[in-house]
Amino acid sequence: MTKRRQNKSPLSRASLGIKIPRRKIMPSLYHGGRMSKNRLKELRNNQSKTLKEISEKTGISDVNLSRYENNKIEPKLATWEELAKFYGVTPAYLVGWSDEQV
């Protein structure tokens, strides 16, 4: 059995309390140092849909949909396109870059 090498450095990230994010949010949504608000929750509420209903129709998990709505994680381009198609709007409108829906 081999021994694991332990980090004995007094200045390791863990010892300093530095947290490393699991997934970086893409900088494309940053405007002036803060993230712009997407329109996912607004559109879902306007259609009186639940996360579960949208999940079943799009194939995207309800957990990830919630994370997208709350800007916890950034969807990939294909996911933005799928959601825009579902809501009948452009991806730019959905992300919050444009005010033109179609």
Other beta carbons within 10 Å of 6: 7
Q: What digits encode the pLDDT tens for the residues 5-36? A: 665 555 655 666 666 555 544 444 444 444 55
Determine the average pLDDT of the residues in 82-93.
94
Q: Which residues of 28-39 are buried (b: 16+ CB within 10 A; e: fewer)?
A: ebeeeeebeebb
pLDDT of residue 1: 60
The pLDDT of residue 101: 85
pLDDT of residue 6: 60
Q: What is the mean pLDDT of residues 59-82?
A: 93
CB 88 within 8 A of CB 102: yes
Domain annotation for the chain: domains and CATH numbers = 27-95 (1.10.260.40)
Inform me whether the pLDDT recorded for 2 exceeds 70. Answer: no
